[in-house]
Amino acid sequence: MATLHRLVDELRASTAIVYVPSPDGKALIAALVVGHPVSVFTVAEHIAVQSANYTAAKAYRDGRQAFESSPAKRSPQVTMPFPYTVISTPLGGGEGENALGVMTGIWEPPLGSAADLSTAQLRCRKLGDTLSGFLPASRAGDIAELSLNPLFLMPAPDESLSADITFVYHIHKLASALVEAKHIKDVVEVATARIMKPLEAQAMAVCVEEQGRLRLVGCSGYSGELIDALSRTPAADGSAETRVLLYDTPVFLESAEHIAENPLGRFSDGRGACILLPLTGIAQQQGVLLLAFVRARHFRAEERAALVTMATLFSQALERARLSDGEHAMARELQQVLLPHALPHLEQLECAARYLSASESGDVGGDWYDVLTLPDGNVGLVIGDVEGHSSSAAAVMGQICSGVRAYSAEGHRPADLLRRMNQLLTDLKPGRLVTCCCAWVDLATGTTEISSAGHPLPVLRQPDGVTAVPALDVGLPLGVDPDANYKSVEVTLAPETVLALYTDGLVRSHTLDVDAGTRQLLDTLAEASGHGLEDLADRLLRITTDTAIHDDDTALLLARYEGNTEGVPSRVSRLYIQRHDVRGVREVRQFIHEVLREWGLDAISYETGLLATELVTNGLVHADSEVDVRLRKYPDRIRVDVRDSSTRPPVPAPITVDPEIDTFSESGRGLVIVEELATAWGTAPYGRGKSVWFEMAGPVEAR
């Protein structure tokens, strides 16, 4: 710290900063800062080592001093609304992984002459050598710990302002981060980074009363068992944990004795100090932000004042996010209602589908898919995309889905259906671009008629691994030209052919162009021999989700034509269990035994029935849902799908920032048995709910 003071005092710099590498070496983190109050707020806290154009990153990468004189500069990380000079000096005499860090000085106004700049550079090198002697030689030790600590701010030359500037700085950073936080998850993560960690608290919980229960909105530092227990606690049960909701003024419990006088139950177990900050301005009846410390701690007046201000900012942001998430949930519910409740279970056609929202915006888009039963008993596959990400896009998607279902029920072929939908949208004028692709599959012959309105054509994967795209002129998007005509093409699917329909979010992102993404799609399909449709669907989703932030919605519909099975013993079977009908578990076991006996698979009947009943019990009891049990027989195995209408636990789970706690994971004895006995198993989204499936090896048969 004294070395940084010398840089500020002797060379009249505005700010001096020590950057140290993060534990993974990918970023530089501002660990120590000395400077005048205003200039401190321009400091970049995190700088990417490889991509950033900052002088600190250059000096760290190259192992030599870097400088820049510039007019006022604005970037996503830092705002400097004034001309400046910046000099960055590597510490430790190395570069990259061999460097201990970087010392950066900022001058405002900028250094006026070449002589002043040369003098400052030389002096910085000498101070850097001095500072290097105080830093640990191993990044794996103290320097990694230093890089995780909050910023330590020390203005110069008046050290009496230290605490004031520190708190003002953190309030400023908290407010800036909360403005950008759109969802409750984002707000909780900001509170962890900008309130809990700077204060060096060991645990945090955000609690509200909701529908008569204590709800943990978010937390960090508490065990998963405690989170689950508290999430089911009635607010009026009088327990010590629910007392946190009774405080309407800030409470600072500075020792274990103070906590004993104001018991907080398991919130304060093993804690030496606690803070309770009421949340004001939220729609819930009561709420509190709780911070816990391992050791006793005295909170000075300025700390208390800063924390009350932070709690107010947090509370307002939490309410905005709650309203935003409520609107998002309504749009998501609308979209889920419009997606097919369940895909058909047919001998001749096996289907799998995925829908993935954009990870960057989190908003609901207009991508959709559908599988239709046509009047002649055959199957129609439909996929489409409405421009934009909002509730209005989901509403337009609903209009399209309803129209497509109505026209298909009247018996219209794909091209004629698109022509009618085009005229309908021209009249409705939704103000959004809409694309759609239809494929009608004749189950007896494999003949498939395909037509597209501005949408990517489906990809066919032949049994020998060859991929192809039908030769067809794609028509205009729907609603553009009322007189647009649409053409169709017929292709014949050989048995074991896979048909892949998708929206452009599958093959395009801001770091992956559509041509490269399409090549990956074709390659993944070509290499799909031996993979089930669910596994193939997951592999295809990784085209964009593994390479970048997923910045667009994705809908994917896969269908495998099994061929005409007339005269062949049935290879599929199905049983439906009503919600809360626990007696249905016994029916499932009997159903499994009877079907496998008919298929000549008595040898695996007992194990299959055991696993199926475990999954059905989970669906009836934990998912609180009706259950759909489906069997499909392959030449070398059988597959059991247990499908329910729930995608999440019935009790809203809190947001945790501790990666080791996964409150959404399904666990317990049932899945342990499944994992032990099944050849393969997994979970997948399915229609409006989810599917938990497993496979059991059976005798190899000829096709």
pLDDT tens for residues 588-646? 889 999 999 888 888 899 999 998 888 888 777 766 677 888 898 877 888 898 888 77
**pLDDT score recorded for residue 166:** 67
d(CA 599, CA 638): 10
**pLDDT score recorded for residue 680:** 85
**Of 24-33, 146-155, 172-181, 480-489, which range is least confident?**
146-155
Q: Do 316 and 378 share a domain, yes or no?
A: no
pLDDT bin (cut points 50, 70, 90) of residue 160 is very low
- C-alpha separations of 572 from 159, 557, 598 in Å: 78, 20, 12
Report the SS3 class of residue 327.
Answer: helix
Where is mean pLDDT largest: 199-208, 391-400, 652-661? 199-208
Residue 578 near residue 585, CB atoms below 8 Å: no
Report the SS3 class of residue 596.
Answer: helix
**pLDDT score recorded for residue 139:** 43
pLDDT of 227 over the 50 cut: yes
- C-alpha separations of 539 from 523, 528, 531, 543 in Å: 11, 9, 10, 7
d(CA 577, CA 596): 19
Q: What are the residues whose beta carbons fall under 8 Å from the beta carbon of 326, sequence distance 6 or more?
A: none
- Minimal CA–CA distance to 616: which of 624, 630, 627, 605? 627
d(CA 311, CA 302): 14
- Minimal CA–CA distance to 453: which of 375, 386, 392? 386
Tell which wins on pLDDT, 83 or 471.
471
Q: Residue 374 is inside which H or E element, if any?
A: none
Q: Which residue range(s) make up the domain with 76?
A: 2-157
20 DSSP β-pair partners: 29
Residue 584 in domain: yes
Per DSSP (E only), the strands in 304-424 are: 349-356, 368-373, 379-386
**pLDDT score recorded for residue 147:** 36
pLDDT bin (cut points 50, 70, 90) of residue 128 is confident
- Minimal CA–CA distance to 337: which of 395, 408, 417? 395
**pLDDT score recorded for residue 151:** 43
Average pLDDT of span 402-406 = 89
- Minimal CA–CA distance to 366: which of 381, 391, 392, 385? 385
Residue 335 in domain: no
pLDDT bin (cut points 50, 70, 90) of residue 289 is very high
Residue 276 near residue 299, CB atoms below 8 Å: no
DSSP classification of residue 365: B
d(CA 670, CA 123): 68
Q: Identify the CATH number of the domain in which residue 512 sits.
A: 3.60.40.10
d(CA 2, CA 633): 75
Report the SS3 class of residue 565.
Answer: coil
Q: What are the residues whose beta carbons fall under 8 Å from the beta carbon of 677, sequence distance 6 or more?
A: 607, 610, 611
Q: Do 137 and 185 share a domain, yes or no?
A: no
pLDDT of 49 over the 90 cut: no
Residue 232 in domain: yes
Average pLDDT of span 365-370 = 81
Q: Identify the CATH number of the domain in which residue 596 sits.
A: 3.30.565.10
382 DSSP β-pair partners: 370, 438
Q: Residue 170 is inside which H or E element, if any?
A: helix 162-180
Q: Do 210 and 323 share a domain, yes or no?
A: yes
d(CA 369, CA 658): 35
Residue 539 in domain: yes
Per DSSP (E only), the strands in 506-580 are: 554-561, 572-577
Report the SS3 class of residue 641.
Answer: strand
d(CA 555, CA 182): 24
Neighbours of 543 (CB within 10 A): 24
Residue 354 near residue 368, CB atoms below 8 Å: no
d(CA 244, CA 290): 8
Tell which wins on pLDDT, 244 or 81.
244
Residue 368 near residue 555, CB atoms below 8 Å: yes
**pLDDT score recorded for residue 381:** 95
Residue 337 in domain: no
Domain stops at, among 533, 561, 589: 561
- C-alpha separations of 411 from 77, 377, 407 in Å: 58, 11, 7
Residue 659 in domain: yes
pLDDT bin (cut points 50, 70, 90) of residue 580 is low
Q: What are the residues whose beta carbons fall under 8 Å from the beta carbon of 636, sequence distance 6 or more?
A: 697, 698, 699, 700, 701
Q: Identify the CATH number of the domain in which residue 99 sits.
A: 3.30.450.40
- Minimal CA–CA distance to 282: which of 321, 316, 251, 247? 316
Cα 620 from chain centre? 28
* Longest Cα separation, the chain: 95
Average pLDDT of span 545-571 = 70
- Minimal CA–CA distance to 501: which of 443, 559, 562? 559
**pLDDT score recorded for residue 80:** 62
d(CA 554, CA 432): 18
- Digit-coded pLDDT (tens) for 302-327: 788 888 889 989 998 998 888 777 76
Q: Tell the residue number behind the tokens 């027989």, with chain if given.
A: 633
Q: What are the residues whose beta carbons fall under 8 Å from the beta carbon of 408, sequence distance 6 or more?
A: 372, 374, 380, 382, 417
Residue 86 in domain: yes
Q: Do 363 and 505 share a domain, yes or no?
A: yes
Question: From the CA atom positions of the chain, what is the Rg in Å?
Answer: 31
Q: Do 540 and 658 share a domain, yes or no?
A: no
Report the SS3 class of residue 539.
Answer: helix
Domain stops at, among 157, 189, 224: 157
Average pLDDT of span 40-49 = 77
**pLDDT score recorded for residue 172:** 80
**pLDDT score recorded for residue 165:** 60
Q: Do 427 and 314 share a domain, yes or no?
A: no
Q: Tell me the helix, strand and coil percentages in the chain, rounded to 5.
A: 35, 25, 35
693 DSSP β-pair partners: 641, 682
Q: Do 674 and 576 share a domain, yes or no?
A: yes
Q: Do 179 and 148 share a domain, yes or no?
A: no
**pLDDT score recorded for residue 152:** 43
Cα 156 from chain centre? 43
**Phi, psi dihedral angles at 191 (to 5 degrees):** -60, -40
The number of domains in the chain is 4
The length of the chain in residues reads 703
Residue 702 in domain: no
Q: Do 481 and 606 share a domain, yes or no?
A: no
**The whole model's pTM is what?**
0.56
pLDDT of 121 over the 80 cut: yes
Kindly give the interhelix angle for 301-338 and 184-191, rounded to the nearest 10 degrees: 160
Report the SS3 class of residue 204.
Answer: strand
For the chain, the first-to-last Cα distance in angstroms comes to 77
**pLDDT score recorded for residue 92:** 78
Q: Do 555 and 581 share a domain, yes or no?
A: no
Percent of the chain at pLDDT above 70?
Answer: 78
Average pLDDT of span 677-702 = 75
Domain stops at, among 330, 351, 381: 330
**pLDDT score recorded for residue 470:** 92
- Digit-coded pLDDT (tens) for 451-499: 999 999 999 999 888 999 999 989 999 888 888 889 999 898 998 899 9
pLDDT of 358 over the 90 cut: no
pLDDT bin (cut points 50, 70, 90) of residue 285 is low
Structure tokens at 637: 């195995």
Average pLDDT, the chain: 79
Ramachandran sector of residue 127 (left: φ over 0; alpha: ψ -120 to 50; beta: rest): alpha
Q: What are the residues whose beta carbons fall under 8 Å from the beta carbon of 422, sequence distance 6 or more?
A: 453, 476, 478, 479, 480, 481, 482, 484, 486
Cis peptide bond prior to 109, omega within 30° of 0: yes
Q: Do 521 and 581 share a domain, yes or no?
A: no
Q: Do 625 and 582 share a domain, yes or no?
A: yes
520 DSSP β-pair partners: none
Tally: H helices and E strands in the chain = 17, 30
